[in-house]
Amino acid sequence: MVFAGDGPDGLGNIDTSNVCPGGDDGGSDDSGDPVTSTVNIQVSMDSGYTPRIGFNNEWSFCGCSNNPSFTNIGDDTYTVSVPVNQQYKIGRIDENGDLSIEQVEVTDDACTVPESGDVRRVASDSCNSITPTFAAADDSGSGDPNYTVEDGIQFTEAFGDTTIDDGPTFTFPSAAETWGGFVNMNTALYPITVAEDSVITFTGSVPTGDDVDVRFRFEANPHPDTEPSFNTETVTVSGADAATYSINVPSQGANTFNSFLMYLITPDVGVSVTDVAISAGTEGCTDATADNYNAAATTDDGSCLHTTDVDCVGAWSECSAECESGSERTFEITTEPSGTGTPCPTGDDAPDCQDGDGSCVLDQPDQPDQVVSVKGEPIAFVDGTASVTISYDVSNSNAALTGLGLRVHYDSSVLTFSSASDEIQTELLVPPTLADDTDDFDNDPSTDKYVSVAWASLFGNWPGALPQDLVTLNFDVAADVTAETTPITFSWTSKAAGYDFDGTAYNMPILPGSWDFDEDGVGDALTDGLMLLRYTFGLTGNAVTDGAIASDSPLTEAEVEAKLAYAATDGHFGDIDGNGLCDALTDGLMLLRYMFGLTGDNLIDGAVDEAAATRKTAADIEAYIASLMP
C-alpha cells in the first residue's frame, strides 16, 4: 500500500483538495432532520487562537476544502456559515498547533441547542453570536491540522464512545457503539491508493498481558459516503511486551481512500498501538524451511530453494525418500538444486526427491511394507495401568524376512514404562530397552521417550506366521493426567532389505479409572463390585478383600484396597451418579446391580441422589459404568 504521488519516504505528494474526515456537503444532519438552510454564526475567542469547526461523528477539525472557513471580522471575532439542524463542535488551535474543544454546557444562546457532551446543534436561523468557553488544550497534538506526511498515521480521534488514554492506549468499552473506533487525523496523507499488494505494520502491546484483536478499514470518504471500502484481516496483539505486527493488504486497483480507521474487536481491554505504517508488500520466499527464506516477505514469489539439509518431516509432498535417521520424508522438487550434491537431471529422468545435501534421489518402484500397529483399542486409566500390544504384518504377506528393529514412542508425562513381555518368543536380538527420544525419531514432539526392541533371523524366516503379536509393553499411568488421549507412535532402527516401514500411530484414550480393581482383566460382580460395596460401607483390610479377589489377580490385598480407596475418594470415578460423593447405597449398589446384568429402572431404582446427582437417568448411569469397564 502506498500513498499517492512521489514524495519523501514513498509517502507521496498529497492532494489537499480531498474530502476530509467529518466533512459535510449538506443533505441531512446526524439526527436525521433535513438541512434546509445555513446561518452565519459569530464566534468570539481569546487573542492568539484560530477557530475550527467539526461536523458529524468523526469531528475532524481540519482545514479541508469542504470544511467551512471562518472570516476574521476584527477584535478576535469570526463568522462561519453553519447549516440549520446540523450538529457541530467549536474548537480552537493555539500557536503550538494544539486543539481544544468548546465546553458547550458553559455557553448557549437562543439559536443553539446543547446535544450531548461538547456537541451543539443549530436549531434556528436567527443565530447571531456565540462566545465559547474552552476546555484545556490537548498538548498531545490531537486534532492538529498542521500534520505533514512525515508525521505519519495519527490515530488521535475516538468515535462511538471508544476511548484513548495516555500511551496511547486504545479501548473499546463493551458499552460503546458497535461501530465505534479510531480515525487517523493526519489528513495530509490522503488520498491513499492501494495499487499493489501492501502491508500494514505497527508496534503493539497489551498492558494487562491479555490478547486484543485489531483490524483496520479504508473508506473512500468518511461516513456516509464510504464506498468503495476495504476491511483488513484481524491480527491478535498478545502480551505486555511490545512487538511488531503486520497485516497484508491486497491491491485495491485504482480506488482511492480518504478515511483510514482502526477498530478493536476485543472489548474492555486496552491495547497500545504505535508506529502504524503502510508500505508496499515485499515479494520473496515465505517458506521458513527454505534456504533463501525471507522473513520480511509478504508474498511468495516461487523462489524458495531447498538445497541444504532439511528435517525429516511429514509436511513435504508427492514423493518419498529415506533420511539417514530411518524416518521418511517426502519432497516435491520445483527448482534445480544448487547445493553441493549432484545437479538433478531433467526431462524423463527428473527425480521427485532430493537428499539433504542437494543430490537427487530418483524414483524408486513401490516396495512392500513391514507394518506395525497397536493391537485392538487399549485404554489407559488415570493412576492405574495401561498395556499396549504391538502387532506386526507385511503388506505382501511374506512371513519369512530377516527381522525388524523397532522403536515404540510415548509421552513420559503420562506413561511410565514398567515392564514388557515378548509375545513372539523367537529370535529376540535386542530386549526392550528404554531411551530418551532426543532426536525425535518419530517426528512427533509430543513424545519424549521410546522403548527399543529388535528381532533378527539368521536364516531369513522371521516371524514365521502373519499377523503376529511382537511385544506387550506395560505402563503405569500418572495420577494428575488431564488429557483425554496419549500418543503411541513408531519408528524403525532396521528393516528387511527391499521393504519400507509403515508404523500406524495410535491415540490411546485415557479414562479416569476402571472397575477391574483386582486387575484380572474383567469387571465382575462377586469380586470387583462386591469389594467396592464393602469398602463404601466402611470395611477395610481383610473384611474388604476376603474371598473377593480373583485367583489370577496380580495384585496384593493392599494394592487392591489402594485402588478402591482412589475410586471412592469424593469426586473420583467411583461417584457414579455424579453427586460429589461415592456412597454404598447409591454408587456401590448400582455398580453391583450393573455387574449382575440389571439395566433400566432395575439398575437405578432408589439408588440415585435425585437432589444432587448430575447423572440421573438409567441411560446416563449405564453409559458411565460401561465406559469404565475393562
Q: pLDDT digit string (tens) for 518-563? A: 888 889 999 999 999 999 999 999 999 999 999 998 889 998 998 8
Calpha distance 98→88 (Å, rounded): 19
- The three cell numbers locating residue 461: 524366516
Residue 1 has pLDDT above 70, yes or no: no
Q: Which domains does the chain have, with CATH numbers?
A: 2-130 (2.60.40), 369-511 (2.60.40.680), 525-627 (no CATH)
Q: With contact defined as beta carbons under 8 Å apart, do 531 and 517 qualify?
A: yes
Element (H, E) at 405: strand 403-410
Rounded Cα–Cα distance for residues 279 and 281 (Å): 6
Query: Residues with Cβ < 8 Å from 65, sequence gap 6 or more?
Result: 16, 17, 19
Q: Would you say residue 574 has pLDDT above 50?
A: yes
If you write DSSP's letter for every residue of 53-70 in order, what string do you get? Answer: EEETTT------TTSPPP
Q: Sorting pLDDT into bands at 50, 70 and 90, what band is 86?
A: low
Q: How many Å apart are CA 209 and CA 192, to the nearest integer?
A: 34
What's the distance, CA 541 to chain centroid? Answer: 51
- pLDDT one-digit tens code per residue, 215-270: 999 999 888 888 999 999 999 999 999 999 989 898 898 899 989 999 999 999 99
pLDDT of residue 121: 65
Decide if 296 contacts 274 (C-beta within 8 A): no
Residues forming a β-bridge with 83: 38
Residue 611 above 60 pLDDT? Answer: yes
And the C-alpha cell for 369? 511394507
**pLDDT tens digits, one per residue of 123-134:** 655 555 566 655
If you ran DSSP here, which 8-state letter would residue 528 be given? Answer: I
Q: For 65-74, write each residue's pLDDT tens digit.
A: 345 667 777 7
Question: For all residues of the chain together, what is the average pLDDT?
Answer: 76
Which range among 14-23, 377-386, 621-630 has the greatest average pLDDT?
621-630
Q: How far is CA 363 from the centre of its chain?
A: 39
Q: pLDDT at position 74, please? A: 78
Q: In angstroms, rounded to a whole number, what is the distance separating the alpha carbons of residues 473 and 488?
A: 11
Which residues does 514 contact at the CB level (< 8 Å), separation at least 6?
A: 379, 381, 384, 523, 628, 629, 630
- The CA distance from 217 to 161, in Å, is 18
Task: Map residue 295 onto helix, strand or coil.
Answer: coil
Tell me if 214 sits within 8 A of 263, measured CB to CB.
Answer: yes
Strand (E) positions, 423-532? 428-436, 449-456, 462-463, 468-477, 485-494, 500-503, 506-511
Whole-angstrom Cα distance, residue 289 to residue 363? 23
The lowest-confidence range among 16-20, 103-107, 523-527 is: 16-20
Q: Kindly indicate the confidence band of residue 300, based on its pLDDT and cuts at 50, 70 and 90.
A: confident
**Residue pair 185/147 in contact by the 8 Å Cβ criterion:** yes
Cα 186 to Cα 14, 151, 229, 521: the distances in Å are 11, 8, 19, 76
Residue 174: other Cβ atoms inside 10 A: 6
Q: Which three cell numbers stand for residue 459?
A: 536364516
Average pLDDT over residues 434-462: 91
What's the rounded Cα separation, in Å, for the pair 78 and 94? 15
User: For residue 422, what pLDDT is reported?
Assistant: 81
The total of other beta-carbon atoms located within 10 Å of residue 421's CB is: 13
- Point out the least confidently predicted range of 186-195, 283-292, 351-360, 397-406: 351-360
Q: What is the grid cell recorded at 124? A: 434556528
Contacts of 136 (CB under 8 A, 6+ apart): 100
Q: Which of 237, 249, 264, 282 is nearest to 176 (CA)?
A: 264
- Phi and psi (nearest 5°) for 176? -70, 165
Rounded CA-CA distance 78/45 in Å is 8
pLDDT tier at 316 (50, 70, 90 boundaries)?
A: very low
Check residue 131 and give its pLDDT: 61
